[in-house]
Amino acid sequence: MKTQTLVLSLSAALTLLACSKSEPPAPAAAGAPVAQAPLIVKIGHAAPLTGPQAHIGKDTEYGAQLAVDDVNAANIQVGGRTLQLQLIGEDDQADPKQGTIVAQKFVDDKVNVVIGHMNSGTTLPASVTYANAGIPQVSASATNPEYTKHGYKTAFRVMTNDEAQGKVLGEFAAGKLAAKTIAVIDDKTQYGEGIAIEFKKAASASGAKVVAEEHTDDKAVDFAAILTKIKATKPDLIFFGGMDPQAAPLSMQMKKLGIKSILLMGDGGCTADFIKNAGAAAEGQYCSKPGVPVEKMPGGPAFIAKYKAKYNAPIQLYAPYAYDAVMVVVEAIKRAGNADSAAILAELPKTAYKGVTTDIAFDEKGDIKDAAVTLYIAKGGQWEQVDTIGGKPAAPAAASAEPIPAATPSPAAIPAAK
Amino acid sequence: METFVQQLINGLTLGSIYALVALGYTMVYGILGLINFAHGEVVMIGALVALAAFKLLAATMLPPVLIALIGFGIAAMVCMALGWSIERIAYRPLRNAPRLAPLITAIGVSLVLQQLAMLFWGRSYHAVPALLPSEAHEILGARINEVQIIIMLAAGMAMTGLIFLVQRSKLGRAMRATAENPQVAALMGVDANKIVALTFVIGSALAALAGVLVSANYGIAHYQMGFLLGLKAFTAAVLGGIGNIGGAVLGGVLLGIIEALGAGYIGDLTGGVFGSNYQDVFAFFVLIGVLVFRPSGLMGEKVSERA
């Protein structure tokens, strides 16, 4: 009986304690003229948190969350008030329909700014909603060139677009990999089809011949039929425009069918999971990723350590970009002195921020200036850097600690900014 | 020629996978007239449980095939318990409810299982170690590996075993009696609840087998792997005549071959108007065609509406 009372009173005390602890200072609406109250800024983040790409979506959200934690811990004063970021993470399931629903929800929630979406397919339709509502959108990962081509003043990205990436991939395939005949597979998404088109253009222009074009979707696991068809055309290289859940079984099934062509992929297949899941079939395959390798980013090593400490998992893809996307917004808020969407929007084009990934500045369309693309090969269970093309001249020079096999085919051919 | 043979092998493998899963759908439907939409998820749980067992056993230095068998055994037991629980919790209380009600609980169970698996195993894809013999052989210039042969054999054996069970054994007679009329079967001393529960248990063991073989074939497992697979297998069961065991296998194999040949040749046949991305359209087109002329599927019998 006695112990019971003790337990009861103890738990009551704990509850009280917990209550008093979690009681926040009265939340003031952003921009309300309450002196000394923290300036609360709502940041919407949208990515697939369920479904086949959930691991990449969560990775992106983790990146944004790290930035939010850092900013909140730094006690930044904006207009005499402490800046407090709130991350509202939503699941758009990589589905364009769900993407627009999430976008509308952000508008209704009156978020100050949106980071995302992760996929090009969701970013494009959502960008219309944000443009109409005047909410700035900074995507850390949508690479489809269309995103910034509509002339929306609200659309920004801190990631190299597929025009640049596809071009580098196509020239790399026909150039350094010396592929004469090429088969192209895409997953029919905005991203997959988009990068495949850019790749085909550049590869054909560089003298390679596209001998087969096949399509799959972003839920498939069985590629035996299309690979068998491709096998009959005996291509030197197979390009896959899609994400790692498809890329890994694709490369394994290539092995099973005895296809000896090289597999080349864009950033969607350039993940740690691709190598983990494809195992031996990953060896010797190539991929590209916008930007420079995480380890060689200006703030890379520190970011890797921070990410590892908090989430105890390897970085999949976009986490550092999501971190920078949040930071770019924070810089804009600092310069503007308040966090209204319009104020952020006015300041974003003037961005000049030394981020984790690179030095970030936007061109007139909202694309990142001086975009770099890095090519990798899977070797000994890891992605090993082959080459970095474009970007700030200083970055690749500093990064060339390991021997680069040969000079880049034509670094000048890739315009620094689009 | 070798491309055609290879496409046939691709289709047979895919079709045998569909067939294995379709058997589970068809058994439950045959007895209860219920579409157990959670079946695909049981396949997924089977694959992931077996994978967890493989990882635990990896350190024991047992021969790989033995590890695969033990892993399958554990997965089968978990799935059988799961199948039994699903029936007990989600279907039995609705045995006399309108037919739509258990359909909705089936979808509910499917979602619950998916989300639980996501919480438990995470969102990532898991690599499945190659435990089964996977050496490739050449037939007429086409390649077939041993995992594929095992899958085809497993589908054939599962079908034969089930037909034997249903047609020849005492349990099978009770099953058929329950399917025909549960009330009358009960009057004859058949415990309908027990028979239905056993049907789910057997179906779930097959699901575990399918899960292990699917993940072995593709080398990956994921918490959503069961959904699309279940949908395709259900289609296969309908194509063959749902409720008919031989029909499930026939439907599965046909669907697999149609998909493979569709993806392989539809582009050439239509002069490039339709590409390989139309393989599903092609498969469902065939399904609609069959159902127009044979509404109860290829091997389905015309049965009068159940009492």
pLDDT score for A70: 95
Check if the beta carbon of residue B94 is closer than 8 Å to that of residue B102: yes
CA-CA distance, B207 to B22, in Å (whole number)?
A: 9
Predicted confidence at residue B262, as pLDDT, reads: 87
Distance from CA of A240 to the nearest CA of B (A): 14
Q: Does a structural domain hold residue B264? A: no
Contacts of A188 in chain B (CB under 8 A): 277
Amino acid B281: pLDDT: 81
Read off the pLDDT of residues A301-333 as tens digits, 9 standing for 90 and up.
999 999 999 999 889 889 999 999 999 999 999
DSSP string, B95-133: TTS-THHHHHHHHHHHHHHHHHHHHHH-SS-EEPP--S-
Q: Which residue has the higher pLDDT, A296 or B19?
A: B19
Our CA angle for A179, A180, A181, nearest 5°, is: 95
Q: What is the spatial distance between Cα B151 and Cα B16, in angstroms, rounded to a whole number?
A: 6
Confirm or reject contact between B276 and chain A (CB < 8 A): yes
CB-side exposure of A229: number of CA atoms within 13 Å? 24
Cβ <8 Å between B263 and A279: no
Is residue B7 in a domain? Answer: no
Is a pLDDT exceeding 90 seen at residue A35?
no
Helix, strand and coil in chain B, % to nearest 5: 75, 5, 20
Chain A residue numbers touching B6 (CB-CB < 8 A): 228, 231, 257
**pLDDT band, residue A411 (cuts 50/70/90):** very low
Residue among A58, A214, A221 minimizing CB distance to B275: A214
Q: What is the pLDDT of residues A94-141, one digit of tens each?
A: 999 999 999 999 999 999 999 989 999 999 999 999 999 999 999 999
SS3 content of chain A, % helix, strand, coil (to 5): 45, 20, 35
Closest chain B residue to A220, measured at CA: B228
Cα–Cα dist A114/A138, whole Å: 6
What is Dmax (Cα atoms) for chain B? 63
Nearest-CA neighbor of B18 among B161, B230, B192? B230
First to last CA, chain A: 76
Closest CA to A171 of A415, A342, A409: A409
State whether A221 and B218 contact (CB < 8 Å). yes
Q: Which residues are CB-contacts of A370 (< 8 A; sequence separation ≥ 6)? A: A358, A359, A361, A390, A391, A392, A416, A417
Both tokens of A257, joined, read: 């069918």
CB B206 within 8 A of CB B114: no
- Tokens matching residue B52: 């967890």
Name, in order, each residue with C-beta under 8 angstroms of A74's C-beta and a sequence gap of 6 or more: none
Identify the burial level of B96 via C-beta atoms within 10 angstroms of its C-beta, where 0-12 means exposed, 13-18 middle and 19 or more buried.
exposed
Q: Tell me which amino acid residue B249 is.
A: V
Residue A389 has what pLDDT?
A: 87
Contacts of A355 (CB under 8 A, 6+ apart): A158, A298, A299, A323, A324, A327, A328
The two structure tokens encoding residue B250: 């026939």
Residue of B nearest to A281 (CA): B219
State how far residue B20 is from chain A, nearest Cα, in angstroms.
Answer: 16
pLDDT tens-digit map of A349-361 = 999 999 999 889 9
pLDDT number for residue B275: 76
Q: Pick from B127, B136, B263: which is nearest to A279 by CB?
A: B127
pLDDT of residue A87: 96
Residues A333 and A344: their CA atoms lie apart, in Å, by: 6
Burial bucket for residue A53 (CB in 10 Å: 0-12, 13-18, 19+): buried
Residue ranges in chain B whose pLDDT is less than 50? 304-307
- Assess if residue B2 is contained within a domain: no
Q: How many domains are contained in chain B?
A: 1
Q: What is the pTM of this model?
A: 0.79
Which residues touch A376 (CB under 8 Å, ≥6 apart)? Answer: A270, A286, A287, A288, A289, A293, A383, A384, A385, A386
| Residue reference for tokens 């021969």 | B63
Alpha helices in A175-318 (DSSP H): 190-205, 224-231, 244-256, 272-278, 300-311
Residue A104, number of CB atoms within 10 A of its CB: 13
Residue B265 lies in a domain: no
Calpha distance A15→A312 (Å, rounded): 30
Q: Is residue B279 part of a domain?
A: no
d(CA A409, CA A163): 17
The confidence score (pLDDT) of residue A369 equals: 86
CB-nearest partner of B260 from A55, A224, A232: A224
Buried b / exposed e over A127-139, threshold 16 CB at 10 Å, is bebbbebebbbbb
Count CB atoms within 10 A of the CB of residue A57: 30
Distances in Å between the Cα of A135 and the Cα atoms of A108, A159, A183, A340 are 11, 19, 41, 9
Cis-peptide into A55, omega within 30 deg = no
Rounded CA gap, B246 and B23, in Å? 9
- Domain extent at residue B102: 18-227
- The confidence score (pLDDT) of residue A302 equals 93
Backbone region of residue B140 per phi and psi (left: phi > 0; alpha: psi in -120 to 50; beta: other values): left
Share the mean pLDDT of chain A.
85
Residues 6+ apart with CB under 8 A from A72: A83, A84, A85
Instruction: Give the pLDDT confidence of A204-261 residue by residue, as tens digits.
Output: 999 999 999 999 988 889 999 999 999 999 999 999 999 999 999 999 999 999 999 9
Question: Which H, E and C letters describe A46-96, residue by residue?
Answer: EECCCCCCHHHHHHHHHHHHHHHHHHHHHCCEECCEEEEEEEEEEECCCCH
Residue B124 in contact with partner chain A when CB distance is under 8 A: yes
pLDDT value at A370 more than 50: yes
Rounded to whole angstroms, the Cα distance separating B73 from A318 reads 40
- Give the closest-approach CA distance of A145 to chain B in angstroms: 24
Burial state string for A268-298 with b = 16 or more CB within 10 A and e = fewer than 16: bbbbbbbbbbbbebbeebbbbbbbbebebbb
∠ Cα A191 A197 A198 (to 5°): 90
Q: Is residue B4 domain-resident?
A: no
Predicted complex ipTM: 0.87
Helix (H) or strand (E) holding B260: helix B245-269
Residue of higher predicted confidence among A47 and B270? A47
Backbone φ and ψ for A233, nearest 5 degrees, come out as -90, -5
What was the pLDDT predicted at B303?
Answer: 52
Which of B218, B228, B232 is the mutation pick for testing A, counting most A CBs within 10 A? B218
pLDDT top residue among A5 and B122: B122
Identify the pLDDT of residue B112.
Answer: 96
- Domain-embedded: residue B155: yes
What was the pLDDT predicted at B264?
85
Q: How many CB pairs under 8 A join A and B?
A: 99
Please report the pLDDT score of residue A409 as a whole number: 39
Q: Do A224 and B13 touch (CB under 8 A)?
A: yes
Establish if B216 touches chain A: CB-CB under 8 angstroms: no
**What region does A370 belong to: left with phi over 0, alpha with psi -120 to 50, or beta?**
left
**Chain A residues within an 8 Å CB radius of B126:** 277
- For residue A153 the two structure tokens come to 């003043």
Residues in A touching B259 (Cβ below 8 Å): 225
State the best of B1, B4, B6, B225 to mutate against chain A, taking most chain A CBs within 10 Å.
B6
Interaxial angle between packed helices B245-269 and B225-240, expressed in degrees from 0 to 180 and rounded to the nearest 10: 100
Enter the tokens of residue B145: 């590996």
Strand partners, B142: B139
Q: How far apart are CA A332 and CA A345, in angstroms?
A: 8
Question: What is the per-residue pLDDT for A52?
Answer: 83
